[in-house]
Amino acid sequence: MIVEKSAISVGLGINNIPFELYAQQLIDEVRICLESGLLSLPYYHFLPLPSTNLLILFRFFHYNNRKFGGRMRLARFRFARTTCSVIFLVLTVFSSTLFGQEFKRALPGRVFSFPQDHFSHPEFKTEWWYYSGHLYSQEKKSYGYQLTFFRTGLNRETKHQKSNWSIQDLYFAHLAITDESRGKFEYLEKISRGSLGEAGAYPYKKGEKAFRIWIEDWSIEGKGLGMQNHILKAGDKTFGIELTLTPGKNPVIHGQNGISQKAEGEGYASHYYSLPRLRTEGKIFLQSKEIPVQGISWMDHEFGSSQLREYQVGWDWFSIQLEGGTELMFYQIRERDGKIDPYSGGTIIFPDGTYQHLPKNEFQIEVLNHWTSPKSRAVYPSKWRVKVPGHRIDLTISPTVKDQELITKESTRVIYWEGSVKVGGKYQGEPIKGVGYVELTGYAESLSGKI
């Protein structure tokens, strides 16, 4: 059973707003569409942000007509309409010139620093902070959870351009909880333009004692010695989480020479690290019931500006936490012709925290079963066999609940499957069990051009 919830933070209040501020926000709204590639002139009906963007034009006219008691003259209406049209046309033609410098690309040679790299990296266009985990109640009931914050850069403004109304980034968040005991999956999504401090993610500055990423009352905060305690708050008392995570291992840098290459060509990569095992305790809220929990989590942080090429449609990503303290991460990127891209890869993390890069030819992923979504009609892999011959690993991975699909029509507008899985098999000849999370993208529609 799946339940979708939504929380939108994109509406624009217009009462008592001076015209100058209102006009500035109008420009920002239109710019969002243009620079995120989600709008061209003929396609205003595809707007992803309800109550914003071109709908602003109508609201502007309606507001002024109502403000003057319905006595707004036709000439004034036409003048306002023409002015807005001119603004929109200028933004369309000159948006790349007016709004922003080029974003940096993920290139070899980056040296990571912690806790500094837990902070935001606004010089890159795309960034996300991802947490997933397996939690257990005192009654031995099991739960999976996922919390992800996304930042998408719109432009890189200079200091003299910044204002409380300026919009440099869009922020999205997804929260999902899998009630494994009841076979139920629910999710919640959130979006914000980031203006007036309603959302944000601060870059590191010398002397900072905490990092924070937030959308209104949803947040990730790093506190304590070395900012090692990750505090997650999302949702509410009806459906939500309040968790504290403490790493059991140091950060693991994926890929080689500071980058995780995703495709052929310079810059088609990301800077990517994980905290593969975090002790977790706190509480979750389901159906307005508070449930104390504890367990383990996984954290990813990834940032870059150009990752997928036009011939790549999506990826299959796996995080696996085995008994005894070994972890695995794999991703395979799928091409339009069904082939697996040679830049797919992974990492094995040993109990002592050391780790090793795994190129595509050192692991095998075999699909054993499929599941068809009753909502999107996408056909997803639903059971896998994973082998790492060089380390004598042979695992079977199965979803705890088949339907863990997210249709994020109110935020990122991406349909994907992300869910908790159980793991069993052999490691160096001995039986072993584990838990994990799997993310499947590009099965309902291609991600090419979106990431």
Could you give the CA distance from residue 423 to residue 28 in angstroms, rounded to a whole number? 47
Give percent above pLDDT 70 in the chain.
Answer: 74
Confidence (pLDDT) at 167: 77
Residue 138 confidence (pLDDT) above 70: yes
Helix residue ranges, H only, 123-203: none
E strands in 154-194: 169-179, 184-192
Strands (E) in 51-183, as ranges, are: 126-137, 142-153, 169-179
pLDDT value for 26: 52
Residues 6+ apart with CB under 8 A from 68: none
CATH at 271: 2.40.370.10
Identity (one letter) of the amino acid at 286?
Answer: L
Q: Can you say how many angstroms the Cα of residue 190 is from the centroid of all Cα atoms in its chain?
A: 11
- pLDDT level of residue 441 (50, 70, 90 thresholds): very high
User: Do residues 136 and 77 share a domain?
Assistant: no
pLDDT of residue 259: 96
> Between the ranges 30-34, 202-206, 295-299, where is the mean pLDDT highest?
295-299
Q: 62 with 146, same domain?
A: no
Nearest to 367 by CA among 380, 384, 388, 379: 384
Amino acid at 429: G
Let me know whether 222 and 249 are in one domain. Answer: yes
Q: Residue 339 contacts by C-beta under 8 Å, 6 or more apart in sequence?
A: none
Tell me if 106 is assigned to some domain.
no
Measured from the Cβ of residue 83, the count of other Cβ atoms closer than 10 Å reads 13
To which H or E segment does residue 213 belong? strand 211-215
* Residue 317, in any domain of the structure: yes
In angstroms, rounded to a whole number, what is the distance separating the alpha carbons of residues 349 and 111?
Answer: 19
One domain, residues 150 and 286: yes
pLDDT at 68: 45
Q: How many other CB atoms sit within 10 Å of the CB of residue 422? A: 17
338, 439, 306, 314: which is closest to 384 by C-alpha? 439
Same-domain check for residues 213 and 337: yes
Q: How far is CA 383 from CA 144, 294, 297, 366, 367, in A?
A: 17, 27, 22, 9, 6
* Pair 130, 279 in one domain: yes
Q: Is residue 110 part of a domain?
A: no
Least confident of 226-230, 236-240, 315-319: 226-230
Domain contains 447: no
Tell me what percent of the residues of the chain surpass a pLDDT of 90. 68
Q: Are residues 18 and 137 in the same domain?
A: no
Look-up: residue for tokens 């900072």? Answer: 208
Mean pLDDT for 299-318 is 93
What residues make up the domain containing 47? Answer: 7-98
| Residue 259: DSSP 8-state | B
The string of pLDDT tens digits covering residues 46-80 is 233 333 334 434 444 443 444 444 444 555 545 55
Q: Which amino acid is at 312?
A: Q
pLDDT tens for residues 16-35?
Answer: 444 445 455 555 555 554 44
pLDDT band at 196 (very low <50, low <70, confident <90, very high): confident
Rounded Cα distance, 254 and 343, in Å = 13
Considering only CA atoms, which of 348, 318, 344 is closest in space to residue 262?
Answer: 344
Overall size of the chain counted in residues: 451
Q: Is residue 449 part of a domain?
A: no
Any domain includes 210: yes
For residue 123, the tally of other CB atoms under 10 A from its CB is 15
Q: Which residue has the tokens 């109508």?
A: 58
Per-residue pLDDT tens over the stretch 249-293: 999 999 999 999 999 999 999 999 999 999 999 999 999 999 999
Q: Is residue 372 one of the residues assigned to a domain?
A: yes
Query: Average per-residue pLDDT in the chain?
Result: 83
pLDDT of 93: 40
Give the model's confidence band at 168: pLDDT under 50 very low, under 70 low, under 90 confident, else very high.
Answer: confident
Q: How many domains does the chain have?
A: 2
Lowest mean pLDDT among 351-355, 389-393, 408-412: 408-412
Whether residue 335 has pLDDT greater than 80: yes
Mean predicted confidence (pLDDT) in 199-226:
93
Residues 267 and 390 in one domain: yes
Are 38 and 74 part of one and the same domain? yes
- Provide the CA 330 distance to its chain's centre, in angstroms: 18
- Whether 61 and 134 share a structural domain: no
pLDDT higher than 60, residue 1: no
User: What is the average per-residue pLDDT within 129-143?
Assistant: 97
Q: Is there a single domain that holds both residue 40 and residue 182?
A: no
- C-alpha dihedral, 432 to 433 to 437 to 443, nearest 10°: 70
Q: How confident is the model at residue 189, as a pLDDT?
A: 96
- Element counts in the chain: helices (H) and strands (E): 3, 25
- Tokens for 208, please give them: 């900072």
pLDDT at residue number 164 = 60
Give the mean model confidence (pLDDT) for residues 131-153: 97
